[in-house]
Amino acid sequence: MVTAAGTGVNLALGVLYAWSIFKAEIGRSIAVGGEGAFQWDPASLNDPYAICCLVFAFSMILAGRCQDLLGPRVTAILGGILVGTGFVWISQSTAYAVWALGFGVLVGAGIAFGYAAATPPAMKWYPPHQTGKVAGIVVSGFGLASVYIAPLARYLMNGWGLGGTMLVLGVGFFAVVTLLSLLLVNPPAGYHPGEVRDSRRKGGINQRIRELFVEPNLAPSQLLRQPSFWLLWVLYFLGAGAGLMVIGSVAGMATRSLGSAAFVAVAVLAVGNAGGRLVAGFAADRIGPTQTLTGVFALQALLMFVAIPVTGAENASALLLVLVSSLIGFNYGANLALFPALTKDLGGIKNFGVNYGLVFTAWGVGGFMMSRASQALVISTGSYRASFLAAGGLLAAGALLSLRVRDRKSEQLQSIRAFLGEQNKAA
């Protein structure tokens, strides 16, 4: 129940990944002009999205602290209120400042509070060898959101305009997140997930498992002094920044090939985004998060270079564009399942909310810097070539850096599995 509720909260809050649909409509309004049109500098079209990424990331520190102290239910309700308020406000204006504050600050902070409340309670109900899978399932909702939000937004905009669409989405997100938050509960005190249920064997076996699985318990100040934390931060910056750069502009890339159906590319990318979270979560539990992370970075770097001829072709193939976009979304989504697991592995579950908030700041800084840089490069060069080249090179460096991440979880799980195998043979 908790896992399903957390996934549902993320399904509502994943509206961030539909920004390219809103951006395309704002760009069209700027080009057409007239009374009530948006009067923005085209180079600033990604600013509300970039600010939202930055605020989302840094608000995760406060939201994580709120989740650790007040619990997931209160934290998620605050998220629903902030997101709903932000959307209702921007529905009433075309001013740049209102969108920067409404979408960038209020929606960004609201997403952080909802997102911070969704994953930790679900992870607490499951044993350590299922951490990656559970995290992948819950965060897949965030990535999958564009599958329904993109076509829904396009449908609403055809009849209600952009302002009416924002109003409907704001009210809807507030209602859904508030209701689902009532199902987000932590396990009772003394609960130990994954213990052996056989009363004849459980006492000694469970004690031995606890001895083998020595979970760290780092306070935020201790985490910041770990070199491993800064390695994770840099890797998250690279992986998230490259993915968000593409997600924020995919509708614009697809317009030449798909025209008014460009939202299809956004929806397909969202499927890849969600699929990457699920597959990476399962892979992390099977082969280890470090090995999975290295593979993700290497493939994402390759895809950035492949995207150059695909998006730059005179008659760009719609099929190839959608395929490359979905694979980029897949690899980007994998980061969102792997880094929570790696953070829990490094710092433990007790302070996971605020600890992951500290790691997650890399996501926001990466999204802010790379999405703004990408938009500036596109305006100055007229193509996405320079953006993809830079992102591909950074991701290739990230693949090499990821080899230095210690896989503490895999080391412990190997010991636990070996012990349980011996017990099964003895039984």
> pLDDT tens digits for 103-144?
999 999 999 999 889 988 888 888 777 777 787 788 888 877
Q: What is the pLDDT of residue 369?
A: 84
Position 394 scores a pLDDT of 87
Domain-embedded: residue 1: no
Q: Is residue 340 a part of any domain in this protein? A: yes
Examine residue 88 and state whether it is found in any structural domain, yes or no: yes
Residue of 255, 251, 302, 248 lying closest to 51 (CA atoms): 248
Predicted local confidence at residue 413, as pLDDT: 61
Domains held by the chain: number:
1
Residue 82 has pLDDT above 90, yes or no: yes
Specify the pLDDT at position 204: 55
Is residue 229 pLDDT above 60, yes or no?
A: yes
- Domain membership flag for residue 212: no
Q: Is residue 132 part of a domain?
A: yes
Q: Which pLDDT score, from 0 to 100, does residue 360 have?
A: 87
* Whether pLDDT at 203 is above 60: no
Query: Domain for residue 422, yes or no?
Result: no
Taking the C-alpha atoms of residue 136 and residue 190, their distance in angstroms, rounded to an integer, is 26
Looking at residue 200, its pLDDT comes to 45
Alpha-helix runs per DSSP H in 182-288:
202-212, 220-223, 227-247, 250-258, 263-287
DSSP 186: P
Arithmetic mean of pLDDT, 32-51: 84
pLDDT at 207: 56
> Quick one: average pLDDT of 194-198?
50
* Structural domain range at position 304: 7-184+218-414
Is residue 420 pLDDT above 70, yes or no? no
CA–CA distance, 311 with 145 (Å, rounded to integer): 24
209: in domain: no
- Residue 373's pLDDT band (cuts 50, 70, 90): confident
User: Residues 249, 109, 142, CA angle at the centre, nearest 5°?
Assistant: 55
Any alpha helices (H) in 348-426, and if so which ranges?
352-381, 385-401, 408-426
Query: Is 208 within a domain?
Result: no
Integer Cα distance of 425 and 420 in angstroms: 9
CA distance 77 to 2: 15
Q: What is the CATH number of the domain that holds 237?
A: 1.20.1250.20
